[in-house]
Amino acid sequence: MSSLSPKFLAFRNHLLTAVYSRNYHRAAALHRPSGPPKLSPYDVRTVNCILRANEHTQEFFTGSVKSYDSNQLASNSPIEDSRSEGSCVHTSGLLLGIFDGHGGPACSQVISKRLMRYIAASLVPPDDLRQHILNGAQSFSFLSCHNDKARHCVFRLEFVSEIKELYEKSFHQFATELTNTTLAGFQMHQTLENAFIRLDQDLSREAIEMPSLRTMSVAMSGAVALVAHIDGPHLHVASVGDCSAVLGTVTDTGQWVAKKLTNEHNSDNVGEVRRLLSEHPATERDTVIRGERLLGQLAPLRAMGDFRYKWSREQLEQLVVPQFGEQVIAPYYHTPPYLSACPEITHHILTPRDKFLIIASDGLWDTMSAMQTVHLVGEHMYGKAFLQPLTLPKNDVTLGEISQMLSTRKAGLQKKPLDRNASTHLIRNALGGTEYGVEHSKLSHMLSLPQDIVRLFRDDITITVVYFDSEYLRNCPT
């Protein structure tokens, strides 16, 4: 979660671009006769290993999603971002999430495991859900996770019996209540909103009823969250905070269009500021947001966890102050809650022109625009085809046609991407990109910054790129 102001980020990015553009021109002038300076294979290999360490690609053979690429690069130690992807076991949907923590990784890691399961259970018809519960179904049985990183979680939810039992009890109570709903009243927007809010309420209740190092660590840290649910042509995106989702669409003339599906919930969002101010007395108009932050402290205006901005002053004094001190209570803390976990939800019906979806934490959007990311992924998508082995058509083909295919492939190989994974491609360009292309010296510098200053130059970056099956979308009913 970025703790730097937008003005500082803009100045920093401008300064870095200017420095590296100047150095690029100098290097080009000095080495133009013999080409650019050569880097040792070791340097290139080391950079590539760092960039590709956390990449993952998942393919699907049915439905509207062909595959997705994901990757993650840390700035904080430990990383405060989390990601989660899984197929709903009892319905046909795919869930993908990006979670950007602040105040530590605890909240981000916990909700990345639990929120997807709350949503997956919410999508099961009540009668079927009741039967699953009677058969002893637990939370993990509702979601088939891909690229599961549970073993890297600080809390290791699957292995810590104390916390697992607590979380399973909360999930069972939630699922049992869902069985009392009626199908006639099902609305996807309401279902997603209810899952977000209920999990946040459970995090609060667990910390109050069973205060411990683990529950309080989750309660006092926080995270913004973005979850995409894809089922056939229906794409729903639910978001709290400043992660973003961008749809890459191609026009009749082959031009790329970037369609933003989310709004950032921060002080740059005028509508969000008005919403927040309307929820508090006019006497707090100058204190609710100070210095572009909630109560002068928190950048996002919606988040999960962060109960120091949601609990009453009495609760904070009783539960939190003894452990964390008086400074945990923000100045001008008069009429909580100040922070909401209610997501903003967008529904989009996919068409064959919708080629991919990019969801990412703000570490990417601090350095690149939506249009830049769509162009990069679009070019990568076409260029990646040349990384595959050449296959000839099954029907008869002439030598002339083969010659033309080889000529086309030879020309295309010059544009082939360095990375097979589109998320890695975006991270490479986000850190090393200049107006002249990716500059290895800039990229290497950004990856080798000392831990005590790296956070001043880049945030944690987490990206998932989802590719759609155009043929499926062309033929499926809406």
Query: 211 with 315: CB under 8 angstroms?
Result: no
- In DSSP terms, 97 is beta-bridged to 84, 227
Q: What confidence score (pLDDT) does residue 411 get?
A: 55
DSSP string, 6-44: HHHHHHHHHHHHHHHHHHHHHHHHHHGGG-SPPPPHHHH
Measured in whole angstroms, how far is the alpha carbon of residue 102 from the centre of its chain? 14
Q: How far apart are CA 344 and CA 240, in angstroms?
A: 7
What angle do helix axes 106-122 and 213-220 make, rounded to 10 degrees? 90
Q: What confidence score (pLDDT) does residue 398 get?
A: 79
Q: Where are the beta strands (DSSP E) in 243-401?
A: 244-250, 256-260, 289-290, 293-294, 304-305, 344-349, 354-360
The encoded tokens of residue 208 equal 């109050």
- Which residue in 96, 365, 361, 371 sits closest to 259, CA to CA? 371
Q: What backbone phi and psi angles, to 5 degrees, belong to 268?
A: -80, -15
**Cα Rg, the chain, nearest whole Å:** 24
Q: pLDDT (tens digit, 9 = 90+) per residue, 43-84?
A: 888 999 999 999 999 999 999 999 999 999 999 999 999 999
Q: Which amino acid is at 216?
A: M
The total number of residues written for the chain in this structure:
478
* Dihedral in degrees, nearest 10, Cα atoms 43, 44, 46, 50: 140
What are the CA-CA distances from residue 225 to residues 1, 67, 70, 259, 334 (Å)?
A: 11, 22, 16, 19, 27
Q: What confidence score (pLDDT) does residue 400 get?
A: 76
Q: What backbone phi and psi angles, to 5 degrees, belong to 376?
A: -65, -45
Query: 459 with 8: CB under 8 angstroms?
Result: no
* Dihedral in degrees, nearest 10, Cα atoms 111, 235, 370, 388: 100
Cβ count near 244 (within 10 Å): 23
The encoded tokens of residue 8 equal 């500082």
Q: How far apart are CA 457 and CA 369, in angstroms?
A: 17
What are the CA-CA distances from residue 26 to residues 29, 108, 431 (Å)?
A: 5, 43, 20
Q: What confidence score (pLDDT) does residue 268 get?
A: 96
Q: pLDDT (tens digit, 9 = 90+) per residue, 427-464?
A: 999 999 988 889 988 999 999 999 999 999 999 999 99
What is residue 317's DSSP assignment? I
- Which residue in 414, 412, 415 sits closest to 404, CA to CA? 412
Provide the CATH topology of domain 80-243+263-354: Phosphatase 2c; domain 1 (3.60.40)
Q: How far apart are CA 257 and CA 247, in angstroms?
A: 8
Query: 193 with 156: CB under 8 angstroms?
Result: no
- Which residue in 113, 223, 126 sits closest to 168, CA to CA? 113
Q: Which amino acid is at 97?
A: G
Q: How far apart are CA 451 and CA 410, in angstroms?
A: 43
* Residue 352 neighbours by CB under 8 Å, 6+ apart: 470, 471, 473, 474
Q: How far apart are CA 152 and CA 296, in angstroms?
A: 33
Q: What confidence score (pLDDT) does residue 385 get?
A: 54
Q: How far apart are CA 181 and CA 238, in angstroms?
A: 21
* Residue 333 neighbours by CB under 8 Å, 6+ apart: 295, 313, 316
Cβ count near 133 (within 10 Å): 17
Task: Output the tens digit of pLDDT for each of the chain's 478 residues.
Answer: 555 555 555 555 555 544 444 444 444 443 444 444 444 555 888 999 999 999 999 999 999 999 999 999 999 999 999 999 999 999 999 999 999 999 999 999 999 999 999 999 999 999 999 999 999 999 999 999 998 764 444 444 444 667 889 999 999 999 999 998 765 667 999 999 999 999 999 999 999 999 999 999 999 999 999 999 999 999 999 999 999 999 999 999 989 999 999 999 999 999 999 999 999 999 999 999 999 999 999 999 999 999 999 999 999 999 999 999 999 999 999 999 999 999 999 999 999 999 999 999 999 999 999 999 999 999 998 876 555 555 666 667 777 777 776 666 565 555 577 899 999 999 999 999 988 889 988 999 999 999 999 999 999 999 999 999 999 999 988 7
Q: What confidence score (pLDDT) does residue 37 get?
A: 44
Query: 458 with 452: CB under 8 angstroms?
Result: no
Element (H, E) at 60: none
Q: What confidence score (pLDDT) does residue 399 get?
A: 77
Q: How far apart are CA 179 and CA 81, in angstroms?
A: 33
- Which residue in 33, 2, 37 sits closest to 23, CA to CA? 37
Q: Report domain extents, the chain.
A: 80-243+263-354
Q: What confidence score (pLDDT) does residue 437 get?
A: 85
